[in-house]
Amino acid sequence: MIDIQYIRDNPDLVKQKSEQKGYKVDIDALIELDSRRRKLQSEIDTIRESRNKNTDDIKKSGKPTEEQIKRGVEIKQLLSQKEPEFNDIDLKWLGLYKQVPNMSLDDVPVGSSEDDNVVAKIVGEPTKFDFEPKNHAEIAEAKGWLDKERAAKVAGSRFAYLMGDLVMLDWAMNMFVLSKLTDRKFISKLIKDNNLDLDDKPFIPVQPPAVAKTEVYEATGRLNKEEQTYKLADDDLWLNASAEHVMAPIYLNEIINESQLPIRYVGYTTAFRREAGTYGKDMEGFLRMHQFNKMEMESFTNSETSYDEHLLMIAVQESIMKELGLPYRVVKKCTADIGGPNASGVDIDVWLPGQGKYRETHTADLITDYQTRRMNTRVRKQDGSLELAHTNDATALSQRPLIAILENYQTADGDVVVPEVLIPFMGGKEII
RNA sequence: GGAAGGGUGGCCGAGUGGUUGAAGGUACCUGUCUUGAAAACAGGCGUACCGGCAACGGUACCGAGGGUUCGAAUCCCUCCCCUUCCGCCA
């Protein structure tokens, strides 16, 4: 949620920014409800004040008089009228309030679909082959690394058995990325190279719960019941669609001392996505699955450093792509594409020779205080004051770079050359 | 799944119907002392909402929701969570 006071003070701007994101929220109705709600609240407060006065009088005299009891009963009746009225308005108010998306930063391109995203830079050249490159599905199936037919028998479409050296390679990549993120020197260098004003604390690896309760999941602003999130039918639990969704709420209802910031985690979970509305899209291989493993950076900062933290995460992503030797581009997502909780969103797209185009492998989300306002995660500043913590999340590694390696490192014989940085994590194997 | 105990301020912890928004400790902030720090001493210190330029005032909040009562942290009901033991189990 964004600050209600901000909505009161800037209704037109909030309308405009919401529309730019493709959100239809009735801001006028929200403001109308808001003022009715406040009026009722102060009425109720006044009635309660009189109740407390009455109680106070009784306290002083010791024994209540008939008169005082009568007044108490009257007050109670009055409250029993006003309170349900307030609760009703409050519920409607909150319903609308929750729909207001985060405000995009001014440097986020305004656009109405992902076609309006802006390519910020391109690094590396699309890989050239002196043979016709295959796509990752062809390579993996020929090697016996990918079996979707049997997975379909067991779990349905968009599931897969990944096997053999592909699994080894996946784990090697995870270990490679973890070894980077937990290395203070690596973080320190990125901060210096990018002129960021940040602490060089490394990321702490986390294996979080893969599920979250409804209330908690909703607070992340990421619960998408219709299209994305799986529900566990017998429990009040949802399967995470990203470790972000179970990492961001970690400090629910807590106050973090500013001296502990930044807190940087890299959470690893299996992510689950319904992918409703994508029927027939990306059906080949394992580009778009109901289930995949992902490492996600999640950090908690104060408000001053959250933007730099966003840039750090992008720098981490780029650095990993570079070391893996993958051609990629950096895309500034437009207002329509960054998502409700985001103030800014940047994608890394990798070049896939098998498709002859760039495909998204990483996202970096600057959330500011949108999630923490609802999660009530605050920071005790050095001067003793409180502010809402800021969060950033970003992909450290999904299974899509694996696809990129198969396609960019394939040989004419159908083998795959192991990228140099991964060889130590592959038991020395140079080709698979 | 069975049994027992418990959820109070940043943290620990008193408190079983009315001067308890909450003792005490600790942490934190300020001051005295000190070359500096520590220690000691003194003072300060919850959050949210509403009103006010402000000083300040009002209301709410003792896991959540409901109830009893003139009045609830305290009594009753429902739910959630945690701890311990037993059972089952990677």
Task: State yes or no: ipTM above 0.90.
Answer: no
| A52 Cβ contacts chain B strand, under 7 Å | yes
Read out DSSP for A186-253? Answer: HHHHHHHHTT-----PPPEEE---SEEEHHHHHHTT---TTTT--EETTTTEEE-SSTHHHHGGGGTT
Q: Which two tokens stand for residue A41?
A: 């609240």
CA of A215 to C1' of B23 (A): 36
Q: Which two tokens stand for residue A256?
A: 């973090």
Mean pLDDT of A415-431: 96
Mean pLDDT of A275-280: 82
Q: What is the DSSP letter of A416?
A: B
Burial (CB < 10 A; 0-12, 13-18, 19+), residue A49, is exposed
pLDDT of residue A45: 87
pLDDT of residue A72: 87
CA of A124 to C1' of B8 (A): 60
CA of A293 to C1' of B88 (A): 30
* Most confident by average pLDDT, A151-160, A201-210, A306-315: A306-315
Least confident of A321-325, A347-351, A387-391: A387-391
Q: Which two tokens stand for residue A5?
A: 């006071």
The C-alpha torsion from A175 through A178 and A184 to A189, rounded to 10°, is 90
Query: How confident is the model over A48-102, as pLDDT tens digits?
Result: 888 888 888 887 777 778 888 888 888 888 888 888 888 888 888 888 998 999 9
Cβ(A363)–Cβ(A347) below 8 Å:
yes
Element (DSSP H or E) covering residue A279: none
| A35 Cβ contacts chain B strand, under 7 Å | no
Report the mean per-residue pLDDT for chain A: 91
In one letter, which amino acid is A423?
A: I
pLDDT of residue A375: 86
CA of A365 to C1' of B71 (A): 51
**Which residue, A270, A343, A333, A277, is CA-closest to A306?**
A343
What's the pTM? 0.91
pLDDT of residue A292: 95
More confident: A243 or A385: A243
Of the pLDDT bands very low, low, confident and very high (cuts 50, 70, 90), residue A116 is very high
Q: For strand B, which nucleotides have at least one atom less than 7 Å from a protein CB?
A: 10, 18-19, 28-29, 45, 47-51, 58-60, 66, 69-71
pLDDT above 90 covers a percentage of chain A that reads 62
Checking if the pLDDT of A224 tops 90, the result is no
CA of A237 to C1' of B89 (A): 21
| A94 Cβ contacts chain B strand, under 7 Å | no
Checking phi first, is residue A80 left (phi over 0); if not, alpha (psi -120 to 50) or beta? alpha
| A377 Cβ contacts chain B strand, under 7 Å | no
Q: Which nucleotide lies closest to A53 by the C1' atom and the CA atom?
A: B71
CA of A107 to C1' of B7 (A): 46
Cβ(A86)–Cβ(A295) below 8 Å:
no
